[in-house]
Amino acid sequence: MTKQITIASVVWLELWRRKDLYVVMILMISLLGYLLSLNIFGMSSSHRYIMEMGLLLSWLMSWVLTVNLSSRQLPEEEQRGTIYPLLAKPITRGELIVGKWLGCWVAGSTATLLFYLLTSAVVMMRGGTLHLITLGQGLLLHCSLLGIAAALAMTLSTRLNQDAAATLTYILSVVFFVFIPDIPEILVRENTASPGLLSAAYYALPHFEVFDMRRRVVHEWGPAPAGAVGLSIVYALAWSLLLLKFSWLAYQNKTFRRELTV
């Protein structure tokens, strides 16, 4: 595991060098500062609106940061030619993929933690209260989802360039989050031509909506059952491992060609 941690630390150094995290943090602070300055309809409960918008921004920014970071790792190593000295060391392609994924997931999770802390601070400044257990569960499930997103982007980047891998990951993420949960309702409401195919997609594809606790946090419904949270984490781990397995299979026999320059 030492090799994977070393590779993950390199991903961290790259993140700081490119200042991606600085950019999204400044944007997050600016948007939350603007929300703090608003008087939403003069309502004393406007802190709920700020919490809702802050969590939405946290989801969007952590998603974009994680996908962009994950989708560029392998293609950039190949483009720069640094993939050769990496694989010349006693590092297998599987260890490289796991190390890259680990670095991207930890980076995305750390950014998410910072986003949640900023949102919580703004809510408290607005006079709101926080249910720490519920908020902690939401953060934990959010970070679990980022593991799947990072693994998905890593899998696609083994065969696609950075832009194509990132774009396809965004599209699939929206499908998994928005369309897949509505399949049972579609089957009941619409007379579809291929109900078997939709049913298979419903059970075979990941469900991103099970990691979303924003409503529970915003409306103070209290903590979710610990068993449900635990199963969701196991579900995320299983999908992350499956996608990393696909990444390894797709990358195992891939050949690299040096581009000759005159």
The torsion angle over the Cα atoms of residues 165, 168, 173 and 179, rounded to 10 degrees, is -170
C-alpha of 240 from chain center: 11
Cβ distance 115 to 21 under 8 Å?
no
Residuewise pLDDT in 10s, the chain (262 residues):
788 888 888 888 888 888 888 888 888 888 888 777 766 555 444 778 888 888 999 999 999 999 999 999 999 888 888 888 888 778 888 999 999 999 999 999 999 999 999 999 888 887 778 889 999 999 999 999 999 999 999 999 999 999 999 999 999 999 999 999 988 888 777 666 567 888 888 899 999 999 999 999 988 888 999 999 999 999 999 999 999 999 999 888 887 766 544 3
Question: In this predicted model, what pLDDT tens digit does every residue of 10-49 receive, in sequence order?
Answer: 888 888 888 888 888 888 888 888 777 766 555 444 778 8
Fill in the DSSP letter of residue 39. -
